[in-house]
Amino acid sequence: MSDSHDPGASDLGPEPDETPPLPAQQPPPPRKVTARSFGDSTPGAAPEPLAVSELIQATWRPDLLAAHVLGSPERIARNLADGRGIAVLALVLFGASVAAALPFGGVAPVGDWWSVAALFAGSVLICLPCLYAFLQFTGLKLTFDRTVTIALLIPATAGLLSLAFAPIVWFIDATTARVPYPTELVDAAGNALVVRAGETAGDVTPVALARVLLGLALLLGVVQLGRVTFKGSSGDTYARTGTRFLLLLWLPLLLFIVRRMSSQLGIWE
Amino acid sequence: MDARVASGPAGTRRAYLRELLIPLAVVVVASATYGFSAGLVHSVRLATWNLAKMPLLILSTCALCALAWFATAQFVTRALGLRAVAALSLSTFAELSMLLASLSPVCAYLALTIERPVSAAQLNEYPLFLWLNVLFIATSGSVVLVRGALRLARAHALSRRRASAVLLIWLALALFVGGQCAWYMRPFFGPAHIVDPPFMERTNPHVDGSTNFYEAVWRAVSPRVRGPR
């Protein structure tokens, strides 16, 4: 027992230092989901570019190919910004443009089996040189591989969506009654109209519906191009206002070529 | 991010089969029940055929739309992989079938008690029966769609807007394809004065000359339609 007895002190020894109680834990503020976190399971996290291994794996996994091309605009934007795996990405997009469009061409009552693939990929490749040249000429020095990748986004997206629509167009064509055109068909001026063998007469034919689905696939390809270019930051050349403006000017040319080529390929009269 | 990772719950083979087989069984049984009750408006024979045709209609629509559902889901949100799309689409149709099956006593009662048509010019209460069924399907579909969107948003950490967009696109595709499927497999029910209907009309044109579902809709809504062939 201590002689110097402090009335406030404990007999067991000095009081431990009193530490102030911890402040009550505040819940973290809710994370704001922005447009750039689109499609990510962790909103706000910086997306990784598509790795070369992922792209190679996608060549034999159609579901992964769809996930990367259709569902990863922000990751493709990172590839364009960093330049990583651009060449492989361009090759994969070209492969998707051609291979994915073949089934639709094979079952649809428009053109030949290769027509749709030729339309999507061919029209973009025809218009590609002028896109690259104008980008260089206006000082928006986008590298050739990036230019090719951006341009191929449209046919690759359209090709994959046409693959998804192929069973639908096959079914519509297979289940529509075949009512042949009348043997004598004239227009309002009395001129005989050319009738192609095998076509069916009707207000809403499988041919018309196939064209609508192709148009929808192409439109979504253009939308995908917009999504990728808007995912980039203003510091990236491909996402700058000038590049977007040039792409906007280039699109009508592309659509004009698509329209002409579709006539020549027998897809749209 | 790998599409397989984001596809949903437990990755065991048995869990996946359960995710698919149970909704599949519900679709078959429940849609057959509703189809039978609706077919009674014509005859027991048509009602019995509907036991097979209604599930076939739904399952063939699912099969034809599967790729398009997956592709459009990827386009809207990468959170849904192949497995999640298959499970979600089947469960949506299972819920719709269950709601319709719950209405099948009402449908059967109406089918047996309406004033039957005697001719094409005298349909009596048949149009009422037809429109009530359209209302049943539209209401059940809307309820399933809203519930499905909320559940999709919760399960996959999506915004409600994105979840709704996915389901609305799937609905549009299902209606686009299912309409033609129903056209090919018609009749599911019809006025009782039409005797001896075939099991399926298949590619036979309609009496108004329509060669497919889309043409029939166009002829129904367009004021400048050509006449019957």
Which of B156, B180, B215 comes nearest A171 by C-beta? B180
| Angstrom distances, CA of residue B63 to CA of A113, B67, B177 | 23, 8, 10
Q: Is B220 part of the contact surface with chain A (CB cutoff 8 Å)? A: no
Q: Summarize the confidence of residues B98-122 as an average pLDDT.
A: 90
Q: Is B179 part of the contact surface with chain A (CB cutoff 8 Å)? A: no
DSSP code per residue over B90-114: HHHHHHHHHHHHHTHHHHHHHHHHS
The confidence score (pLDDT) of residue A68 equals 94
The confidence score (pLDDT) of residue B205 equals 83
Q: Summarize the confidence of residues A63-76 as an average pLDDT.
A: 93
Q: Which residues of B touch A177 (CB under 8 A)?
A: 203-205, 211-212
Q: How far B218 CA lies from chain A's nearest CA (Å)?
A: 8
Q: Is B79 part of the contact surface with chain A (CB cutoff 8 Å)? A: yes
Q: Is B176 part of the contact surface with chain A (CB cutoff 8 Å)? A: yes
Most confident of A171-175, A226-230, B112-116: A171-175
Which amino acid, one-letter code, is at B197?
P
The proportion of chain A whose per-residue pLDDT surpasses 70, expressed as a percent, equals 71
Within 10-69 of B, beta carbons closer than 8 Å to A belong to 63-68
Q: Which two tokens stand for residue B180?
A: 């033609």
> What's the pTM?
0.79
> Pick the residue with more confidence: A39 or A102?
A102
- For B69, name the nearest residue in chain A, comparing CA atoms only: A164
The proportion of chain A whose per-residue pLDDT surpasses 90, expressed as a percent, equals 55
Q: How far B112 CA lies from chain A's nearest CA (Å)?
A: 33
Interface mutation vs chain B, best among A169, A203, A227, most B CBs within 10 Å: A203
Q: How many residues are given for chain B? A: 229
Q: Is A206 part of the contact surface with chain B (CB cutoff 8 Å)? A: yes
B72/A171 Cβ within 8 A: no
Question: What pLDDT digit, counting tens, does each position of B47-88 carry?
Answer: 999 999 999 999 999 999 999 999 999 999 888 888 888 888
| Cα B112 from Cα A19, distance rounded (Å) | 82
B74/A177 Cβ within 8 A: no
Q: Omega before B127 cis (within 30°)?
A: no
- The answer to which of A78-82, A184-188, A227-231, B88-92 has the lowest mean pLDDT is A184-188
User: How many other C-beta atoms are found inside a 10 Å radius of the C-beta of residue A75?
Assistant: 24
Q: How far A172 CA lies from chain B's nearest CA (Å)?
A: 7
B211/A172 Cβ within 8 A: no
Residue spans of beta strands (DSSP E) within chain B:
none
**pLDDT exceeds 50 at position A90:** yes
